[in-house]
Amino acid sequence: MNGLAAHEVTVAYGRQTVLDRASIHIGPGETVGLRGPSGCGKSTLVRVLALLHRPDDGHVSIDGNPVTGARYRVAAAVRTRIGVLFQSPRSAADPRLSLADIIAEPLRATKAERIQDRVVELAYTAGLTTDLLRRQPHAVSDGQLQRACLARALAHRPDYLLCDEATTMLDASTQAHVAAVITDHQHRHGTGVLLITHDPALMHRWAHRVIDWPPDQAAPATAVEHADHH
């Protein structure tokens, strides 16, 4: 089956079980909304799906191929198929690097070609002017920094993009722009998007399907089907 999926994933920190046999599926080109109270394991689910945290039980599969291990143990070519947009751009950006370096970092890590051109192109897509690219994170606003993080997340044209409350800290216009950039990317590349947000309007406008988290273990099919809003 095509798509990014977690199968019966269990994650515990010490004695506290954060995810208990949780499953989720994000199809290509689909936007899946995920909502639930704080601390219910949404972010942990994102880390598991992004291959940044190895679940204690269960596994993640990409287009039907199970992935073993996490972080460095997963081949870079597999890791880069999944992009992540974190909630706080401040902590998701290396404070030492300029915005241009932050965007170029994934391209340099995988020794991509035409890095300079790609950075300018990605910055333009994300709505960053070239004079901002030379600045370091402390000299730009949260919104500008999140745009740089978005450009970085799209650098490898990921097949799946996980947005962990990525627009929560942004002003309305930046929020709309980030959403528009992601939707546009989705239309052009058929990207599957997981959207975590507390904003009901954004969720309603954007998500094809909304899942309430944590899912009721007795009745696993609590997904709310929405009509296609696009």
Task: Select from 2, 10, 61, 88 the one that contacts other proteins (CB under 8 A).
Answer: 88
* Per CB under 8 A, 83 contacts other proteins: yes
* Per CB under 8 A, 185 contacts other proteins: no
* Per CB under 8 A, 52 contacts other proteins: yes
* Per CB under 8 A, 138 contacts other proteins: yes
Q: How far is the CB of 225 from other proteins (least distance, A)?
A: 30
d(CA 75, CA 78): 5
* Per CB under 8 A, 141 contacts other proteins: no
Task: Select from 76, 173, 224, 230 the one that contacts other proteins (CB under 8 A).
Answer: 76
Q: Footprint of other proteins on residues 109-128 (CB under 8 A)?
A: 109-110
Q: How far is the CB of 80 from other proteins (least distance, A)?
A: 4
* Per CB under 8 A, 155 contacts other proteins: yes
Residues that bind other proteins (CB under 8 A): 47, 50-52, 71-72, 76-77, 79-80, 82-84, 86, 88, 91-96, 105-106, 109-110, 138-139, 149, 152-153, 155-156
